[in-house]
Amino acid sequence: MVMTSCVKDLDVIPKDPNTILSGNLQNDPVYMKQVLGKIYASFIINGQGANGGPDIAASDADFFTTARALWNLQEITTDAAICAWGDVGISDLNTQTWSPNNPFLTALYQRLGLSITYANDFIKMTNGNTNPDIIRYNAEARYLRALAYYYYMDLFGNPPFTTEADGVGKFFPKQLDPDVTVARKLLFNYIVSELKSIEDKLGEPRYSYPQADKGAAWMLLARVYLNAEVFTGTAKWDSCKIYSDKVINSQKYSLATNYRQNFSADNDGRNNPEMIFAWAQDGIHTQGGGAGTTFIIQSTSDAVYIRSEDYHGLTVNTNWNGNRARREFMNVLVDTLAVYGNNPVPLTDPTFSQVKDKRIFLKMKRSMDIPSPSSSGDYGIGVFKFTAKNSDGSQAANYNPQYSNTDFPVFRLADAYLMRAEASFRMNNTAAAVTDINIIRTRAYGNTSGNITADKLTAQFILDERAREFYYEAQRRTDLVRFGKFTDGNYNWTWKGGVYRGTNTSRHLNIFPIPGDEVAANPNIRQNPGYN
* Structure confidence by residue, pLDDT tens digits, 116-165: 999 999 999 999 999 999 999 999 999 999 999 999 999 999 999 999 99
Q: What is the pTM of this model?
A: 0.93
**Residue 362 is inside which H or E element, if any?**
strand 362-364
> What mean pLDDT is predicted for residues 200-212?
95
The pLDDT value recorded for residue 11 is: 43
Cα 230 to chain centroid, rounded: 18
Task: Decide the pairing of beta strands 174-175 and 160-161.
Answer: antiparallel
Residue ranges of domains in the chain, CATH in brackets: 13-201+509-521 (1.25.40.390), 284-388 (no CATH)
What does the alpha-carbon distance between residue 392 and residue 394 come to, in Å, rounded to a whole number? 6
Partners of residue 282 on adjacent β-strands? 286
Partners of residue 83 on adjacent β-strands? 323
pLDDT tens for 74-95 read: 999 999 999 999 888 999 999 9
DSSP designation for 323? E
Which residues touch 233 (CB under 8 Å, ≥6 apart)? 181, 185
Q: Where is average pLDDT lowest: 21-30, 157-166, 227-236, 260-269? A: 21-30
Task: Decide the pairing of beta strands 381-383 and 362-364.
Answer: antiparallel
DSSP designation for 262? G
pLDDT tens for 309-337 read: 557 888 887 888 999 999 999 999 999 88
The pLDDT value recorded for residue 48 is: 65
Q: Treating both helix axes as pointing N-terminal to C-terminal, what angle do 132-155 and 103-126 enclose, rounded to 10 degrees?
A: 160
The pLDDT value recorded for residue 129 is: 92
Which residues touch 307 (CB under 8 Å, ≥6 apart)? none
Q: Treating both helix axes as pointing N-terminal to C-terminal, what angle do 132-155 and 29-41 enclose, rounded to 10 degrees?
A: 10
What does the alpha-carbon distance between residue 458 and residue 333 come to, in Å, rounded to a whole number? 16
What does the alpha-carbon distance between residue 499 and residue 37 come to, in Å, rounded to a whole number? 44
pLDDT band, very low/low/confident/very high, at 289 (cuts 50, 70, 90) = low
What does pLDDT average to over the chain? 90
The pLDDT value recorded for residue 167 is: 72
